[in-house]
Structure 1
Amino acid sequence: MAAEPEPLAAVRADDRIAITDDGAGIVLAPAGSAGTDTALVFIPGAKVDPWAYAAILSGLVTDDGMTVVITKPWLNLAFFDLRPLSGFTDLAPEVGAWMVGGHSLGGVKACQLASDARALVLFASYCANDLSASETPMLSLSGSEDGLSTPQKIADARHRLPADGVMVEIPGASDASFGDYGPQSGDGTPTATDAEVEAVVVAEVRDLAAHLP
């Protein structure tokens, strides 16, 4: 599922964002400034072009000074990627506080790496492993119209997350609303705009980062 050209072109043209394309991942960093000490490793959904997430995550860079590393999973499937979190955080060694997150099946992989991060962010996803006893701060962003990681699936897996984890359902968002790669088979029909979804994503991740221990 290829990245849509227009949102990606806008990110590439934004002189506030310094882009480094590495074999392990894509680094989006604040241009011309040191930025914050908090950053996000983001794991794409299955078979989704990593560049498809550049636009929705770009606000974290331009508005909040965060560095974002979008991983390039082996075979485009995060489950087959055995690299530790450090394989991606090493791409921005100046950053000290790392969050890990992922979209859909990428989020399932992020759950497995959460013990090595300062926080976990799920984008239309849920954990297969039990993190209910973890003290790692957690944020779950989901969509009311998601036909894949449905609201029911999110609810059924809630017991695997910490009790104080923050659950945010975005009205009108579908699974594909969390990236720019077009409609996805089996997904619901979104009624929220890309800008509306991005605004919630940026605001909620910003709030999580501001309260890291």
Structure 2
Amino acid sequence: MLVLAVAGVVIWTQVGVMSAEAAPLAAVRADTAIAITDDAAGIVMTPASGDSTSGLVFIPGAKVDPWAYASRLSGLVADDGITVVITKPWLNIAFFDLRPLTTFTALAPDVTTWLVGGHSLGGVRACQLATDADALVLFASYCATDISGTDLPVLSISGSDDGLSTPDKIADAAHLLPASAEFDEIAGASHASFGDYGTQSGDGTATISDPEMTAEITTLVGGFAASLP
């Protein structure tokens, strides 16, 4: 019975994985301002020129192809010089991935300031790793771990039309974050607006375009990273 249960879980994690859309991913790979390294632990995007001392370890949502976030986070690399490491969670589920933050920060050893963040369930996992980072960024997500007693800088980005991590759910979990946490709601954004993987069951309907969404994330996260000591 135990073997069957484990096999069932493994099969479930491999079925219905939401693939990265081809066109946005191709555009990132063709961007000469971004250098990409595909490691077994994660996708590393670095500025093609110049030093990068700030980095973001980004944890994907459940059963979403990590490459689906490359385009949405590309502006941070090309415009703000931030190194982005998109993790490859074990079995496509962040909660099954027990590796420490250092597994991913080691992929960019020259970075001295690290933000950790994630989308949806990936953000919940990021909260568990947050005390090992310099700051936390939540993308359509919220914490289940209480970090309200820390002085960790936190940025929470949500979508006004998110049908999964709804504005009410994010507000209800706000007490688990430090009092200084910043909250920004992007008008017209749905849950799936935070990546390029198509629509998602139970989600709202986005009215913001993909380029506008990328620009919003770049501005919010880039400004937040620049404000860190």
Q: Normalising by structure 2, what TM-score?
A: 0.91
Q: CA deviation at 1:195?
A: 1.4
The structural deviation recorded for 1:34 is 2.0
- Are 1:153 and 2:134 an aligned pair? no
Q: How many Å apart are 1:198 and its aligned residue?
A: 1.2
User: What is the aligned counterpart of 1:106 among 122, 126, 129?
Assistant: 122
CA distance in 2, matches of 1:12, 1:33: 19
Q: Which moved more, 1:194-203 or 1:48-57?
A: 194-203
Query: How far apart, CA to CA, are the structure 2 residues paired with 1:124 and 1:81?
Result: 20
Which of the numbers 32, 38, 51 marks the counterpart of 1:15?
32
- Per-residue deviation at 1:134? 1.2
Other structure's SS at 2:217 match: helix
Select 1:79's aligned residue among 95, 107, 111. Answer: 95
Larger Rg: 2
> Whose helix proportion is higher, 1 or 2?
2
Is 1:126 matched up with 2:151? no
Q: Which amino acid aligns with 2:164?
A: L
- Alpha-carbon distance in structure 2 between the residues aligned to 1:66 and 1:83: 23
Which residue, 30, 43, 59 being the options, matches 1:26?
43
Q: Give 1:35-184 correspondences, 5 Å limit.
A: 35=52, 37-184=53-200
Q: Following the alignment from structure 1 to structure 2, what is the Cα–Cα distance between the partners of residues 28 and 144? A: 29
- In the alignment of these two chains, the number of paired residues is 212
**Secondary structure of the equivalent of 1:63?**
helix
User: Which structure 1 segments of 5+ residues have no match?
Assistant: none
Deviation >3 Å, runs of 4+: none
Aligned residue type for 2:149: A
User: Aligned partner of 1:25: which letter?
Assistant: G
Aligned equivalents of 1:13, 1:79: Cα separation in 2: 32
Give the 3-state SS of the residue equivalent to 2:80 in structure 1: coil
Deviation at 1:32, TM superposition (A): 2.8
Distance 2:149 2:127 in 1: 13
Is 1:6 the counterpart of 2:23 in the alignment?
A: yes
Opposite residue 16 of structure 1, the aligned amino acid is A
Which runs of 5 or more residues in structure 2 are unaligned?
Answer: 1-17
Distance across 1 between alignment mates of 2:50 and 2:35: 10
C-alpha separation in 2, matches of 1:57 and 1:205: 9
State percent identity of aligned pairs.
69
State the Cα deviation string for residues 60-81 of structure 1 (Å, max 9, x = none): 0100111000000000000000
Deviations 1:9-38 (A, max 9, x none): 000000111000000000000113223x11
Measure the CA separation in 2 of the matches of 1:110 and 1:60: 19
- Which residue number in structure 2 is paired with residue 201 of structure 1? 217
